[in-house]
Amino acid sequence: MSPKAGRTQNPDFFSNPAPQGINYLLAIGIDAYAHCARLYNCVKDAQDFMQALLGKYRFEAEHIVTLFDVQATRRNILNQLRSLRDRVTAQDNLIIYFSGHGEYDAKSETGFWIPVEAQPAEEADYISNADITARLNAIDSFHTFLIVDACFAGSLFVQYKNVQPGAERKRSRWGLAASHSREVALDGTRGDNSPFARCLIRTIRQNTDVLGVQELAAAVIDQVQQETGGKQTPVGQPLNVKGHDLGQFFFHLKKDEARDWAATRQENTLAGYERFLLAYPTGANAEEARTTVAFLQEETAWKQAQNANTIAAYDRYLQQYRQGRYSRLAIDAQKTLEETAAWNRATQRNTISAYRDFQYNYAESKYYNEAEERIQQLQTPVQPPVQREPEQKLGSEYYVGGGVVDKQTPISKPAPKKEPAVKSQKQVAAPAAKSSISIVLSTLGTILLFVIIIWKPWRMLETSKQQPVKGISVDIFNENNRYHFLKRADTTTIPAYEDFLQKYPKGNFADSARLEIRKMELKVLNYFKDAQALWSGAHYKDAVIELDAAAKLGSTNPFISKAIRVLKSGNDTESGEMILAGIRLQNEKLK
């Protein structure tokens, strides 16, 4: 059977292989019954199955027990099962093959094997499924595979709705029966194999690779149904026996280094070469296999690093292959990722110092010119358009252009221009009187302006400190101005917002200030994570730069200064621990 034709492969074979113990076989075949109807093919079926295993698979004659015809008494069968209990270890595997008469009691829902000396309808002479299950429970094998070519054999099984593919490294208790619990198994043409045995043995003989029990059962069930026209339906399921751990037994071909090496080279996979080395660690082709394994392992590690595309992933590759084929590419990839991360941080901060710092560290970067353009934009302030301050109502007063006037006071408007009239003699005669009136009016106007512009606002401010005023309080304007000053400042820190919250804990901008603090704490966490990635790549100076940026935000995390101090002292191990501790503490703060 070709590996490409729906084969169930065993991916865990090398990474976590099953125990390589002894394969035991107990083969029972009965044709010449003393009191029951004679059969003709059971002994041949058991012998042919045994020879197929001996000739092709990892079974040895000294580990095979047979009970044919007169030997297959109830006593002998149970004694052999007890003997296997004492011989088989937890590293070994056991296959039991029974071919003969079977019986099923519908009232008690019990199935039986019929030994050679049993009387018809004498259940006391039979071997019940309960007897078989009890004996199998006592055998501590790694894999047990029970094959029954008898009528009504399906009652031994657990009724699983869905059976998942099993791994060889997990223990198993599997069975394959020629028919289900209420169906007769056909004996076949005299001198030939039964339909069930023929399909089973043919599948085993034609196989050319590792063969799992589940794949074998599926092939046999399909072939038997076709050959019998649907009259017989085999059953392949886990047994109702303790020890099943969702695994399955695999038939492995006998060792042949030349054959297996050719198959391994054709497969040309890491798992294939590892499997070959496990089977032939000192073989003629072992050295070439090891070289190929090393080559493919590095290829796999490099592909994993490329797929992850992180500084840490490339660093894992470099730690394993410091002088590897892709070491230079890995270092270049790390530099590119570091440069991109540094540029992203600069754009997030969006300050002149951030862009200058980026240019200093990455003079050959593709972002160098863009950083220069952004610096020039920040150096050229944008002049906002001059807007007239809108009138704001405050109680019974109005703010007008920054001053305060009573709303009852009319605001004088300029009189329309008139054509100069011809002065009369009376007007010409009284300039001195007009001059005196103008002086008096000018003095009164000055006093009025003083009251409006200086005294009235000052008095209003003093009053607002003592008693509430309808409308907007002065504290609100102070809070507004201070908050927006913090927002505009390039050097805003966490303590600055905390001072703001201490003064205005329930102010209009308190929630916004708390949000800004959280944003900056998140920045501190990101600086820590970037420092960790740089530390893992042995870029300790760059890690210090990231931690310095976190310190400038005014974070109270004590591990910032500790990590910087230890990094500068050259203690790489302790600095890594300090950075991890800082990350843990920062995560706790953000919770």
pTM assigned to the model: 0.50
Using CA atoms, how far apart are residues 405 and 239, in angstroms rounded to an integer? 99
Using CA atoms, how far apart are residues 268 and 338, in angstroms rounded to an integer? 37
- Tell me the pLDDT tens digit for each residue of 550-577: 888 888 889 998 888 888 887 777 888 8
Tell the residue number behind the tokens 């592909």, with chain if given.
303
All structural domains of the chain with their residue ranges: 23-160+169-251, 257-308, 329-378, 441-471, 510-590
pLDDT for the residue numbered 62 = 96
Name the nearest CA neighbour of 36 among 84, 126, 86, 101: 101
Least confident of 57-61, 202-206, 207-211, 484-488: 484-488
Q: What is the band of 126 on the pLDDT scale with cuts at 50, 70, 90? A: very high
Q: What is the topology classification, in CATH, of domain 510-590?
A: Four Helix Bundle (Hemerythrin (Met), subunit A) (1.20.120)
Return the H-helix or E-strand segment holding 9.
none
Let me know: does 238 contact 174? Beta carbons within 8 Å: yes
- Token pair recorded at residue 327: 């070491």
Rounded average pLDDT over 324-340: 92
pLDDT for the residue numbered 399 = 44
Instruction: Name which CATH class applies to 23-160+169-251.
Output: alpha beta
Which residues neighbour 303 within 8 Å (Cβ) at sequence distance 6 or greater? none
Q: Work out whether strand 23-29 and strand 392-394 pair parallel, antiparallel, or are unpaired.
A: unpaired
Least confident of 31-40, 162-171, 346-355, 573-582: 162-171
Using CA atoms, how far apart are residues 29 and 41, in angstroms rounded to an integer? 9
Using CA atoms, how far apart are residues 376 and 274, in angstroms rounded to an integer? 60
Least confident of 9-23, 208-222, 254-268, 435-449: 9-23
Let me know: does 442 contact 436? Beta carbons within 8 Å: no
Q: Is the pLDDT of residue 145 over 90?
A: yes
Look at residue 236 and give its three-state secondary structure. strand
Let me know: does 537 contact 317? Beta carbons within 8 Å: no
Which residues neighbour 135 within 8 Å (Cβ) at sequence distance 6 or greater? 78, 81, 82, 85
Task: Give the distance from CA 385 to its chain's centroid.
Answer: 54
Q: Helix, strand, coil: what percent of the chain each, to 5? A: 55, 10, 35
Helix, strand counts (H, E) of the chain: 21, 14
Q: Is the pLDDT of residue 292 over 70?
A: yes
Let me know: does 214 contact 165? Beta carbons within 8 Å: yes
**What φ, ψ does residue 173 adopt, rounded to 5°?**
-135, 95
Name the nearest CA neighbour of 528 among 583, 581, 578, 588: 583
pLDDT for the residue numbered 513 = 84
Name the nearest CA neighbour of 133 among 29, 248, 239: 239
Q: Is the pLDDT of residue 351 over 80?
A: yes
Q: Is the pLDDT of residue 491 over 70?
A: no
pLDDT for the residue numbered 198 = 94
Task: Give the distance from CA 25 to its chain's centroid.
Answer: 43
